[in-house]
């Protein structure tokens, strides 16, 4: 027997079927709509490394905090060589444009989308877990500075100045092993270490090598996992090798061991000052089967002055006075009996000349009015001849002032009281010195 339904029963049955389907349809539609960060969310980005190799990758961490606080970062500065402050045009370390503050993580599953100005981000969309997502920045073989942006809903954050490839190079350190070759030449292993701002070696960076003499095994080499690139130098003369990475350079000298045994050194303790003599020591190896006779050694002091020492065997000392402060390159060139020449050099730093110290000793510290007082000036530290002494005896003195070529002067006083006597010492070269003393004149 067939069941019979009234029109009202059929309507009720249709309503039941529809009410059962509505939750399914609603859930399916909601599942396809991405969950985005609510208003007031702060997204912060952090890189797990200061730099990225040319064909490498690093992890990027993003946090999304509801009701967070945004802060403007301070631009970091680049470390410099002593004595040479610089202002970089861009920060040297990755800089986040926001940082998390008080608040709560966004709901799990919130979608954060990433973009980058260089390379790529994988995955480009990620869902949060406890307010955090982790993605990978992958370089594409191109050097430069990347800016990574993360956004969700109306919230966004940036990671700027992430250096990639050669742009990550902060400094280059260059070494040679050995640094001194035999007199006839040889080979030396050249190693260039490329470091980022934190001092870590950067792998996968091309380094260009050049040499002013000899030959290099390669013109360009790529750094290994330790950030070191290598080349082999073959040279028969003193050579300067240069390594260049995106404008960052370093040099190393590879020299030949002089067959004459020529050496040059300068006494630098205490540090020389202008107007004071500097003692140089020049040495050559005594003549032998492998060391020919030296017929002349010429010493160039680096300030335009030169002196020939003639045929030299063994060691000798030479003094030279620099009239001006500064840095000088002094060199010695030895010429042997065959006409072969070798040159060695040393650096000399000369400080500004110091004024001489001057003291005055009166014959009487408490003379009477009209009594003749003799003053004697003693000069210490002077490096050149004193040309004259310029005296001033103070108020009521007869004479009031005088100039002498010797260090003695006399005066009398017509009034009582404390008198200040000064003398200025004028040397033939270098700064002037001055001294003073007081005497009390009585009735």
Bridging pattern class, strands 326-336 and 341-350: antiparallel
Q: What does the pLDDT look like over 232-283, one tens digit per residue? A: 999 998 999 999 998 899 999 998 876 777 899 998 777 788 888 899 999 9
What gap in Å lies between CA 117 and CA 140, rounded to an integer? 11
**CA dihedral (287, 291, 292, 293) positive or negative:** negative
Closest by CA position to 317, among listed 309, 328, 325, 305: 309
User: What pLDDT does residue 256 have?
Assistant: 82
Q: Which residues touch 8 (CB under 8 Å, ≥6 apart)?
A: none
Query: pTM of the predicted model, to two decimals?
Result: 0.44
Pick left, alpha or beta for residue 425 (phi over 0 → left; psi -120 to 50 → alpha; otherwise beta): beta
Whole-Å CA distances, 15 to 5, 25, 421? 15, 15, 121
pLDDT of residue 185: 86
Distance CA 405, CA 401 (A): 14
Phi first, then psi, for residue 416 (nearest 5°) are -90, 170
Residue 114 reports pLDDT greater than 60: yes
Length of the chain: 443
Q: Write out pLDDT tens, residues 399-437.
A: 999 999 999 999 999 999 999 999 999 988 778 899 999
pLDDT band at 383 (very low <50, low <70, confident <90, very high): low
Centroid of chain to Cα 169 = 14
Sign, CA dihedral 117-121-127-129, equals negative
Least confident of 62-71, 135-144, 164-173, 251-260: 62-71
The least confident of 90-99, 144-153, 186-195, 429-438 is 90-99
363 vs 441: CA distance, rounded Å: 13
Dump pLDDT digits (tens) for 339-367: 778 899 999 988 887 788 899 999 999 99
- Structural tokens at position 68: 């967070």
As a whole-number percent, the residues of the chain with pLDDT over 70 amount to 82
Residues contacting 81, CB < 8 A, separation 6+: none
Please report the pLDDT score of residue 389 as a whole number: 97
More confident residue, 377 or 101: 377
The pLDDT of residue 382: 65
| Dihedral pair phi/psi, residue 278, rounded to 5° | -110, 135
């Amino acid at each position: 027997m067939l069941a019979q339904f009234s029109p009202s029963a059929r309507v009720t049955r249709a309503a039941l079927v529809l009410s059962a389907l509505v939750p399914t349809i609603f859930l399916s539609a909601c599942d396809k709509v991405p969950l985005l960060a609510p208003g007031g969310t702060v997204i912060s980005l952090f890189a797990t490394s200061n730099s990225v190799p040319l064909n490498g990758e690093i992890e990027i961490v993003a946090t999304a905090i509801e009701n967070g606080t945004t802060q403007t970062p301070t631009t970091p500065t680049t470390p410099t060589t002593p004595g040479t402050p610089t202002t970089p045009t861009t920060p040297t370390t990755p800089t986040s444009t926001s940082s998390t503050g008080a608040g709560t993580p966004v709901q799990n599953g919130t979608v954060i989308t990433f973009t980058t100005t260089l390379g790529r981000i994988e995955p480009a969309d990620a869902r949060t877990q406890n307010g955090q997502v982790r993605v990978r920045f992958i370089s594409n073989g191109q050097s430069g500075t990347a800016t990574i942006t993360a956004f969700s809903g109306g919230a966004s954050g940036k990671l700027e100045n992430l250096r990639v490839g050669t742009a990550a190079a902060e400094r280059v350190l260059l070494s040679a092993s050995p640094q001194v070759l035999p007199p006839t030449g040889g080979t030396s292993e050249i190693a260039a270490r490329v470091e980022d701002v934190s001092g870590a070696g950067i792998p996968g960076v091309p380094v260009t090598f050049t040499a002013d003499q000899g030959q290099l095994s390669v013109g360009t080499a790529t750094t290994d996992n330790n950030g070191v690139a290598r080349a082999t130098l073959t040279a028969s003369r003193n050579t300067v090798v240069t390594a260049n990475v995106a404008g960052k350079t370093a040099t190393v000298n590879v020299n030949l061991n002089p067959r004459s045994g020529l050496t040059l050194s300068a006494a630098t303790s205490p540090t020389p000052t202008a107007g004071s003599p500097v003692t140089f020591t020049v040495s050559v190896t005594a003549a032998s089967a492998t060391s020919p006779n030296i017929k002349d050694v010429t010493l160039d002091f680096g300030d335009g002055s030169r002196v020939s020492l003639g045929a030299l065997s063994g060691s000798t000392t030479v003094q030279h006075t620099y009239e001006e402060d500064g840095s000088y390159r002094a060199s010695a060139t030895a010429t042997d009996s065959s006409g072969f020449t070798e040159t060695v050099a040393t650096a000399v730093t000369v400080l500004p000349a110091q004024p001489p110290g001057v003291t005055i000793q009166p014959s009487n510290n408490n003379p009477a009015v009209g009594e003749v007082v003799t003053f004697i000036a003693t000069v210490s530290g002077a490096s050149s001849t004193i040309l004259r002494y310029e005296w001033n005896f103070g108020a009521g003195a007869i004479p009031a002032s005088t100039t002498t070529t010797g260090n003695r002067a006399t005066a009398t006083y017509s009034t009582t009281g404390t008198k200040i006597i000064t003398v200025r010492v004028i040397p033939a070269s270098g700064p002037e010195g001055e001294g003073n003393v007081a005497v009390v004149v009585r009735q």
